[in-house]
């Protein structure tokens, strides 16, 4: 049986996504971005995603889609 530490997985996925978004200059309001990114990642974990890179990449895509829609 495969088990994983959800808390650790969430934290690592968050940091990967955050680092990328920060380097790309996509974080305008850090407090709001932190909550939004955390919520996206938790939703992915609830859906059964369990690979930190995949979670981070999907979270980045969703975050950027939401912010592109707001900017448009």
Q: Would you state the pLDDT for residue 2?
A: 46
- Whether residue 1 is contained in a domain is answered as no
Number of domains in the chain: 1
**Domain extent for 16:** 12-71
- Whether residue 6 is contained in a domain is answered as no
Secondary structure (H, E, C), the chain = CCCCCHHHHHHHHHHHHHHHHHHCCCCCCHHHHHHHHHHHHHHHHHCCCCCHHHHHHHHHHHHHHHHHHHHC
Report the C-alpha gap between 47 and 52 in whole angstroms: 14
Residue-wise pLDDT tens digits, 7-35 = 999 999 999 999 999 999 999 999 999 99
Q: Would you state the pLDDT for residue 68?
A: 83
Q: How confident is the model at residue 3 (pLDDT cuts 50, 70, 90)?
A: low
- Whether residue 32 is contained in a domain is answered as yes
């Amino acid at each position: 049986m495969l088990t994983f530490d959800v808390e650790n997985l969430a934290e690592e996925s968050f940091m990967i996504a955050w680092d990328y978004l920060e380097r790309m200059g996509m974080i305008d309001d850090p407090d709001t971005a932190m909550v939004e990114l955390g919520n996206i990642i938790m939703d992915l974990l609830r859906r059964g995603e369990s690979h930190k890179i995949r979670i981070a990449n999907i979270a980045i895509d969703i975050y950027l889609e939401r912010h592109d829609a707001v900017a448009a």
